[in-house]
């Protein structure tokens, strides 16, 4: 692939030719014209629904594997695009949302609350999320801020579950 082709913003044709980029772009969810992180998080919901019935150790193992894969996917795609954290790279949002939903109560209300809480922390980036986003490079840096946002959002879900007597 030529240097010029690599550095242009990806489209469906380019993503189809590069499975790594296709996955890093959330199977195309990151191509949305506005708010690609929101579209990436939305793309995570069906994956969460597939994983939600796993026992906690299995769920955590799956999320850890997706995180490790994401370090490589996001890093490779960022290098190929010549942009550290291209907005269309949304694999990190997928994994961050899965972190949010760890041990979440069942039900669509919790899926939606998790979605909203994760998006809030992913956009707001309170300490130390913003520091990690600015200081950690490569695929790990792309993934780490979203995992931290997922941990903050998971805490919100667990506190809400406790407060409502659901958890």
Q: What is the pLDDT of residue 8?
A: 57
pLDDT higher than threshold 60 for residue 12: yes
Mean of the per-residue pLDDT values of the chain: 91
Structure tokens at 111: 């899926």
Structure tokens at 42: 């939305």
Instruction: State the pLDDT confidence band at 133, using cuts at 50, 70 and 90.
Output: confident
Parse the chain into domains and list their residue ranges.
Answer: 3-164
- Per-residue pLDDT tens digits for 26-84: 998 998 879 999 999 999 999 999 999 999 999 999 999 999 999 999 999 999 888 88
pLDDT higher than threshold 60 for residue 121: yes
- Per-residue pLDDT tens digits for 88-99: 999 999 999 999
Q: What is the pLDDT of residue 6?
A: 43
């Amino acid at each position: 692939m030529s240097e010029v082709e690599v550095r242009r913003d990806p489209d469906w044709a380019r993503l189809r030719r590069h499975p790594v980029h296709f996955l890093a772009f959330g199977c195309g969810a990151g191509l949305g014209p506005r708010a690609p992180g929101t579209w990436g998080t939305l793309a995570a919901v069906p994956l969460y629904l597939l994983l939600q019935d796993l026992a906690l150790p299995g769920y955590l193992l799956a999320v850890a594997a997706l995180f490790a894969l994401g370090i490589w996917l996001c890093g490779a795609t960022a290098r190929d695009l010549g942009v550290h954290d291209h907005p269309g790279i949304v694999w990190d949002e997928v994994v961050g949302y899965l972190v949010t939903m760890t041990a979440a109560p069942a039900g669509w209300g919790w899926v939606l609350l998790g979605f909203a809480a994760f998006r809030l922390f992913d956009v707001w980036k309170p300490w130390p999320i913003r520091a990690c986003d600015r200081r950690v490079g490569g695929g790990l840096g792309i993934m780490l801020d979203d995992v931290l946002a997922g941990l903050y959002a998971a805490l919100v879900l667990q506190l809400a579950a406790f407060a409502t007597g659901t958890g």
